[in-house]
Amino acid sequence: MSYFPHDFEGEISLHGVGKSRVITYKVLFMPSRFEHELPFEEFPRLRVEGEIADVPVRGAWMPVGDGRRYFIVSPAIKRHTGLGVGDIVEMRFRIDDQDHVDVPAALMDAVSADKVLQAQWNALTAGKQRMFAFHVASAKTAPTEAKRVGEALAAIAQGCTIRDLKRRRKSAD
């Protein structure tokens, strides 16, 4: 068996999300043959790891209201390959650990430095941990990363999301 037992070729499409479909992502739609091969009943947003056009990827198959599923094609694919909307690409993947979280070192170091925060972090679901990790990891500069680590720690300590934390601060002003 191959390291990536599932593979297909598909077209990179532009897909709008939300009620107004204003936010768009470049995506690959999953061929229908996988619907019965993969454990979507247990994991509706099945996390996978693999490659798109030989570029490593990790993410989830996201359901669409019409029964299809899509995988977001990250900007790194465009940067590494030049491929975009309308291009045909190969995707290979395998089912990932559904609780896996890539935590940036700066966030993990900060959480690990405080036993109370560490216990609060460990009590979070993998999805909430991923939310905080993404908030920190998407920073483009060291000062922004440090600011976001502080926001994440404050939100974790208060048992809320970063969005809720910012709302609370705004209403207190």
Q: Reduced to 3 DSSP states, what percent helix, strand and coil does the chain have, rounded to the nearest 5?
A: 40, 25, 35
Yes or no: say if 110 and 132 are a contact pair by the CB < 8 Å rule: no
- The pLDDT of residue 166 is 82
Instruction: Write the CA distances from 62 to 12, 44, 121, integer angstroms.
Output: 15, 7, 25
Six token digits for residue 118: 């560490």
What integer pLDDT is reported at residue 80 of this predicted model?
93
Query: How high is the pLDDT of residue 1?
Result: 54
Q: Which domains does the chain have, with CATH numbers?
A: 6-95 (2.40.30.100), 105-172 (no CATH)
Q: What is the pLDDT of residue 100?
A: 87
Amino acid 126: pLDDT: 87
pLDDT digits (tens, 9 = 90+) for 94-119: 999 998 888 999 999 999 999 999 99
Q: Which residues of the chain have pLDDT under 50?
A: none
| pLDDT at site 173 | 66
Buried b (16+ CB within 10 A) or exposed e, 44-73: eebbbbbbbbebebebbbbeeeeebbbbbb
